[in-house]
Structures are given as structure tokens and as C-alpha cells.
Amino acid sequence: MIQSTAEAVAAEYGPEYWREKEEAGEFAQGFWDELAEAGFHGLLIPEEYDGAGMGMQEMGLAMETLCAEGCGMAGTWYLVLTAGMAAVGIRENGTEAQKERYLPDIAAGERNFSIGITEPEAGTNTLNVATRAEKDSAEETSADPSEATASEDGDEYVLNGQKAWITFSDRADNMIIVTRTTPLAEVDRGTDGISLFIVDMDAPGIDVSPISKHGINYSKSCEVFLEDVRVPEENLLGEEDEGWWALVDMLNPERIGFAAAGTGIGKLAANTAIEYATDREVFDAPIGSHQAVSFPITQAYARMETASLMREKAAWLYDQGEECGYETNVAKATAVEAGIEAVKQSMQAFGGWGYATEYDVERWWREINLTRLAPVSQQMAYNHIGQELGFPKSY
């Protein structure tokens, strides 16, 4: 059912739609609304908050199918941050009030979240985040409680810092932001002292500036500057100083989503190239009849099928509440490698036409290139896998 629903959505929002959105640099509101209509925004949300109560296995399948059936990267991109990370973060670590406030809106497609982790000096090394959140309580602000200015309703945190590459932050309603409530220099373990907050993006003191980028231009990724941004304490997500563990709950779904993107975009490019190579004749023979053309695509396809299975396994473990870091990294790293090879070899099959925007494969090449860099780079995924295998930690 998930697969056929995703196929039906992708049939309406195929390559031509995305070519136009990419060229116009325009957010795909129609697609976003359709994802809500199809129930995909609420897939990971419990039924009591208007969702479908399903898991990452179903979400991964929906994402891969959307990507492979014509949406390319958008099939993951428009789901992974809000319906994936934010929904899971709030589902797993939110207070009852936070769940009631945000989850039904997410399921309905009425709330867009961005996720603010990366900073100019904290990309691969997330623990280096320096954005500060300092508590500003009524008592600290004034000795006389009647003159308290911190908040009419209670204590607030004051956020200062800078984030980089925050996707959708130009239009999002909220951002889940990773901050330090205790500076790195003052904690025993780097994972201590981190706190997450749900920030309203229209709060005073937030300034957003888009970064011009290589692809995926149907969304903007931005620098976000925070200057004395006041956040009520009820917007703390999870425990103060313990936010790392709430963040980890969100990072595995993100990696599973990018694994789905790797195989999804790769399968889309490969299927498109197979059709082209069957039609296109050079030297009086279809180019697909040459094994020099067909084998590299076929080999990449076989590897993608294996990576899809590994993604299913990682997602199944995640949904059971089991440890799944190793499987998730294996799925992400192998899906991305196989997918990149599939798109590269598909572009080769198109010859010069692979370079023309009208055949889309050059756009999928630009899209899939991101998956080797983010959300965890290939090198860092292999660092984690190697460590699990018994190699000394290298970072």
C-alpha cells in the first residue's frame, strides 16, 4: 500500500515537474500538500496525534519509491526533516504539550521544520557546536520579582550563535536547534552539555541568509544568525545538558532517509538510462546491447538492491528500539556508493545528451552528490563502521 501510494504520487510529480522547480528555484508546495494528502507527513506520528503510527521501515520504503519513481532527491528531501527528524524527535523526547502542539500539525502538512545542527566550525564534528543557550530566569534578571523582565510566564533561555546550511530555514515555522548549555571546555565528555530547543522562526533576533548551491534548488539551505533570541523553557526538547541523546534519536532516521535517497535516485537514473539505451541506436545497434554500456549500470543496480535490503534491516532494528548505528551506517554508505555509480554510468549511457538539462540525469547527478557529504559524510560513516569492526577510533 505504501509503495503503490508513493508510485501514484510520483506519477503526478515526475521529472518534468522537478526540472521546472529546480530551474525556478521554487519550493514545491503542490508536492508538499500531496504528501500530506497521501498520509506521508504523518507516517511516523502515533495515531493519537493524527498520524499513521508506522515506522522507519515504511518511511524508508515511501522515500525510496518516491525518489525512484520520478521525484529524485525530493522524495527524501521533503520528508526527512519535518516528517522524519522533527516528528521522531518530538515523538521520542517531547513533553505532552509539545506533542499536542506540533505532531498533529506536522501530520497535516501544516508545519515545516528545519533542523539546526551544523555551524561554520561544527560540521563533521557535531560536538564542537558553540551556539550558546543561557538561562535567563526572572530571579536572575532582577532582585525584585515584581520588576522581572525575563518572561511573563516563566524562565527563558537566550540563544546566541550561528548555524550553517540549515535547509528550509528561509520558510520553516520552527527549527529544532542544537545548542550548548554548558561549553565544551567545561564538560567531562563532549556529549554532555548539549541541549535542543524548538525555536519559532519568527522570534526576534533570527536572521536567515540563503547559500547559493550546486543542486536541490527547489529548497534553500541557509546561514542562520541568532542574536539574543529568547526561547521559553517549555521549548526545551528533552533534558537540559542531555540533548545529545535526543539528537541521536533523530540522526538514525536521517541516515536511513539518505540511504533511501541513494538507491532511489540511482534506480531512477538507471531505469531512465535502460530505456534510452534500448531505443538509441549507434552503429546500427541499440547501445544497450553493448555490455560496456549495460554491465556498469547492471552491476550498480545489483549493489543498490543489496543496499536497499540493508536499509530495511537498519530501519527494522530502529523501529524495534534496538541498537542500529552499525547497520544504519552500512546502509547509508553502500546505498550512496551504489547510487552514485548508477547515476554516473547512466549519464555515460546518455552520451552528450546526459549533459543536457532536458534529460534530467545531470540534475540527479547534482542531487546525489550531496549524499556523499551529508548528513554523515562517507568517510565518517566508514569511520563508525571501522570502529565497530574493531579498528581504533580515528577522530
**Residues in contact with ligand FAD by the rule CB under 6 A:** 114-118, 123-124, 165-167, 213, 216, 221, 370, 373-375, 377, 379-380, 383, 394-395
Residue number with CB closer to ligand FAD (2 or 265): 265
137 Cβ contact partners less than 8 Å away, ≥ 6 residues apart: 150, 155
The distance of closest approach from Cβ of residue 298 to ligand FAD in the complex, given in angstroms and rounded to an integer, is 30
Task: Give me 181's grid cell.
Answer: 548549555
Residue at shortest CB range from ligand FAD: 123
Residue number with CB closer to ligand FAD (225 or 316): 225
| Bridge partner list, 242 | 194
Task: Give me 161's grid cell.
Answer: 550563535
Q: Are strands 113-116 and 174-180 parallel, antiparallel or unpaired?
A: parallel
Residue number with CB closer to ligand FAD (9 or 166): 166
Residue number with CB closer to ligand FAD (73 or 314): 73
Residue number with CB closer to ligand FAD (165 or 276): 165
The distance of closest approach from Cβ of residue 167 to ligand FAD in the complex, given in angstroms and rounded to an integer, is 3
- Across the chain, how many H-helices and E-strands are there? 13, 10
Residue 35 to residue 111: CA distance in whole angstroms: 13
The distance of closest approach from Cβ of residue 96 to ligand FAD in the complex, given in angstroms and rounded to an integer, is 27
Question: How many whole angstroms from its chain centre is CA 254?
Answer: 5
CA nearest 344: which of 279, 265, 258, 255? 265
Residue number with CB closer to ligand FAD (44 or 317): 44
The distance of closest approach from Cβ of residue 4 to ligand FAD in the complex, given in angstroms and rounded to an integer, is 30
Question: Contact at 8 Å (CB) between 264 and 63?
Answer: yes
CA angle, residues 310, 316, 321, in degrees to nearest 5: 130
The distance of closest approach from Cβ of residue 128 to ligand FAD in the complex, given in angstroms and rounded to an integer, is 9
The distance of closest approach from Cβ of residue 111 to ligand FAD in the complex, given in angstroms and rounded to an integer, is 16
In whole angstroms, how large is the CA radius of gyration of the chain? 22
Residue number with CB closer to ligand FAD (182 or 377): 377
The distance of closest approach from Cβ of residue 295 to ligand FAD in the complex, given in angstroms and rounded to an integer, is 30
**What is the four-CA torsion angle of 32, 44, 195, 252, rounded to 10 degrees?**
-100
Residue number with CB closer to ligand FAD (112 or 383): 383
Query: How many C-beta atoms lie closer than 10 Å to residue 336's C-beta?
Result: 28
The distance of closest approach from Cβ of residue 390 to ligand FAD in the complex, given in angstroms and rounded to an integer, is 17
The DSSP secondary structure of 92-155, one letter per residue, reads HH--HHHHHHHHHHHHTT---EEEE--BTTBSS-GGG---EEEEE-HHHH-SSGGG--S-SSS-
Residue number with CB closer to ligand FAD (118 or 345): 118
The distance of closest approach from Cβ of residue 328 to ligand FAD in the complex, given in angstroms and rounded to an integer, is 16
Report CA-CA distances (Å) from 342 to 112, 181, 205, 310. 32, 44, 45, 18
